[in-house]
Amino acid sequence: MCGIIGYIGKKQALPLLMDGLRHESYRGYDSSGVVVFDHDNVTLVKATGKLEKLEEKIQGMDIPGKIGLGHTRWATHGGVTEENAHPHADCKQNIFVIHNGIIENYQQIKDELQAKGHRFISETDTEVLSHLVEHFFTGNLEEAVGKALAQVRGAYGIAVIAKQDPDKIVVARLSAPIVISVNNDGGFIASDPGTILSHSNKMIFLDDGEIAIVTGEGCKITDLKNNAKDKVATEVEWTLQEAEKTGYAHFMLKEIMEHPASLENVLRGRLLMDEGGVKLGGLESIQDKLRDINRIQIIACGGSAYAAQVGEYMLEEYGGIPTEVEIGSEFRYRKPVFDGHTLSIFISQSGETADTLAALKEVKERKGLSLGIVNVVGSTLARQMDAGVYTHSGPEIAVASTKTFTAQVAALALVSLFLGRQRQLSGPAGRDVVGKLSELPAQVREILGRRNSIEEIARRYHQYPNFCVIGRKYNYGIALEGALKLKEVAYVHGEGMRGGELKHGSLALINNEFPTLAIVPTDSVYEKNISTIQQIRARGGKVIAIATEGNREIQKIADDVIYIPENLEMLTPVLATIPLHLFAYYVAVARGCEIDKPRNLAKSVTVE
């Protein structure tokens, strides 16, 4: 959840660290800090609140030095105070540590170190690392870090520097990402590839149990027992422009506007029009095993689990395989029943979500077949899968997912088609889906072209504190997604529901103060949706309908209508998502909310 950045090389470290923190701050933003070494001089500056607070503090300060670390925090252990902000030092102000993750046995280690005379100044779990490294330090930093890490349980991506061994940054990871890049200017480390993309697109992704010694000239990687590891840098295909706001007021709006490009990217080169099938290179190695599966479980969290809800219907109708959605944080706490004929599909934008990774661990321990739908190339999830489909959406900076959500839904359609063509789906039926998939980017552009009218509706409704969002069948997951976006970015209560469930209790909430966003494309459940809208109207509830173009009847019963183009029922979720993302965004703007970095949240949830 926290963001880390480090630099060692020929240039002044501070501007590079601050630049990196500006990018990393979407990972955590309740406090931040930097430490810079200039020979024997150490400057440590920390501030609570947004990164601007740290910028204000360092303004006018002279902080020379060509090695340093920076950190942006999302509090887990200990409140939001300067003492708890990273970097954390040892007793002698020799060793400085930044950390993303959780040290589970920190209290026991802290007690032991305190008994030995170490003085702690924070309430964090991280501070035990700096004192533990101090405890083992005899002049060689990597050796001390290795010994310290052998004592801790939990998850970490850490970076450590020591005044008494000053020509290196030592980094290590266990379940929390670390990327390294070395170019002519020096060595860079970060928790996110986008942070150091402006320096090089060639990056080394550290694996669990690895330690790297990064210098201004290169990097050496070992395991915790000091055995050398040979690793090749991966070329990250993201562009710098994708990681910048490029004139938009918010990253969220920019990323909503990138839905079409994101869809083009996930579909590119994968649609086989003549055969009515799809080419998914990432599945080739397991295609025979896939013929053998008779059940699917899709495992994900948050918005990715809502994309999974759409996939459940797709995989059953088009893939012909019984499918269930499992929530990552629940999966391993209930005795999940699956066997060698079950495929586990993991969906994650970041590929670093701790709950999803924990579920993957469970599946792998039981030798289950795993397939990932992941955005971040080189992420932990992506690297641990038996096979995978990248969404290729590019970097997503706003905390709330948007363009990657529709890409996940499209990727699920591709996988459904792939499995369906292996089974019962005919060539002509496959061609129909392929043709309709290829129409999506243009159709989404069309909806985005009408965003002003959605903004106008959002402005009229922005003062309501509660919204119901309903959808059925394929669009149930989209109702959940629409409600989540309202909660996340506009801080209003959104109740996402299956339309048919409303009358079983929640209808009691509806009155003229509780509007409903109803997803009602002209599909197999259209009539049922209309009945639900009538039930809402009869209680005085206002209705904003998301309906198929050409449906004039809906105007008679809805207060407002947002039209989406016609497409296959299974693909309407992609189209219906767009007005809901825009609606939540514009409500948030009208309410004056902090949009890209909503309170209490962080982009990548690397704690369980």
Per CB under 6 A, does 255 bind ligand F6R? no
Q: Which stretch binds ligand F6R (CB under 6 A): 60-68, 137-145, 300-308, 439-447?
A: 300-308
Nearer to ligand F6R, 132 or 243 (CB): 243
Among 262, 348, 422, 475, binds ligand F6R (CB under 6 A): 348
Other Cβ atoms closer than 10 A to 445:
15
Half-sphere exposure of 128 (CA within 13 A, CB side): 25
Per CB under 6 A, does 176 bind ligand F6R? no
- Tell me 568's DSSP state: -
Per CB under 6 A, does 177 bind ligand F6R? no
Per CB under 6 A, does 400 bind ligand F6R? yes
Q: Report how far Cα 447 is from the mean position of its chain's Cα atoms.
A: 25
Per CB under 6 A, does 602 bind ligand F6R? no
Q: Which stretch binds ligand F6R (CB under 6 A): 109-117, 140-148, 158-166, 298-306?
A: 298-306
Distance CA 520, CA 541 (A): 16
Per CB under 6 A, does 443 bind ligand F6R? no
Distance of closest approach, residue 605 Cβ to ligand F6R, in angstroms = 5
Per CB under 6 A, does 122 bind ligand F6R? no
Other Cβ atoms closer than 10 A to 268:
9
- Given a contact cutoff of 8 angstroms between Cβ atoms, the answer to whether 205 and 244 are in contact is no
Q: Which stretch binds ligand F6R (CB under 6 A): 46-54, 344-352, 420-428, 577-585?
A: 344-352
Distance of closest approach, residue 6 Cβ to ligand F6R, in angstroms = 23
Token output for 443: 């159709």
Active site residue 91: no
Sequence letter at residue 197: L
Distance of closest approach, residue 283 Cβ to ligand F6R, in angstroms = 20
Please give the residues from 559 up to 578 whose contact with ligand F6R meets the rule CB under 6 A. none
Token output for 164: 């008494």
Sequence letter at residue 400: A
Sequence letter at residue 5: I
Q: Which stretch binds ligand F6R (CB under 6 A): 1-9, 62-70, 342-350, 538-546?
A: 342-350
Per CB under 6 A, does 301 bind ligand F6R? yes
Distance of closest approach, residue 3 Cβ to ligand F6R, in angstroms = 15
Among 9, 260, 282, 303, binds ligand F6R (CB under 6 A): 303
Nearer to ligand F6R, 430 or 482 (CB): 482
Per CB under 6 A, does 253 bind ligand F6R? no
Given the residues 2, 219, 301, 468, select the one marked as catalytic.
2
Among 48, 349, 391, 475, binds ligand F6R (CB under 6 A): 349
Identify the bridge partners of residue 32 per DSSP, sorted by sequence position: 47, 72
Distance of closest approach, residue 352 Cβ to ligand F6R, in angstroms = 7
Identify the bridge partners of residue 278 per DSSP, sorted by sequence position: 271
Per CB under 6 A, does 65 bind ligand F6R? no
Q: Report how far Cα 588 is from the mean position of its chain's Cα atoms.
A: 20
Question: Which residues lie below 8 Å from residue 422, measured CB to CB, with a gap of 6+?
Answer: 287, 290, 291
Q: Which stretch binds ligand F6R (CB under 6 A): 280-288, 296-304, 431-439, 514-522?
A: 296-304
Residue 520, SS3 per DSSP:
strand
- The strand ranges marked E within 110-164 are 154-162
Q: Which residue is nearest to ligand F6R (CB)?
A: 302
Question: Which residues lie below 8 Å from residue 590, measured CB to CB, with a gap of 6+?
Answer: 458, 459, 462
Q: How many binding residues for ligand F6R (CB under 6 A)? A: 15
Closest C-alpha to 64, from 42, 49, 80: 42
Strands of 186-190's sheet in order across: 41-48, 31-38, 67-73, 3-9, 186-190, 179-183, 202-205, 234-235
Distance of closest approach, residue 558 Cβ to ligand F6R, in angstroms = 26
Active site residue 593: no
Given the residues 110, 168, 254, 603, select the one marked as catalytic.
603
Q: Which value, in Å, is the radius of gyration of the alpha carbons in the chain?
A: 25
Q: Which stretch binds ligand F6R (CB under 6 A): 99-107, 169-177, 297-305, 509-517?
A: 297-305
Among 94, 191, 356, 529, binds ligand F6R (CB under 6 A): 356
Distance CA 28, CA 191 (A): 12
Half-sphere exposure of 399 (CA within 13 A, CB side): 26
Nearer to ligand F6R, 18 or 605 (CB): 605
Question: Which residues lie below 8 Å from residue 516, measured CB to CB, with a gap of 6+?
Answer: 467, 468, 469, 470, 510, 533, 536, 541, 542, 543, 544
| Residue numbers at the binding site for ligand F6R (CB under 6 A) | 301-304, 348-350, 353, 356, 400-401, 484, 488, 604-605
Q: Which residues are designated catalytic?
A: 2, 603
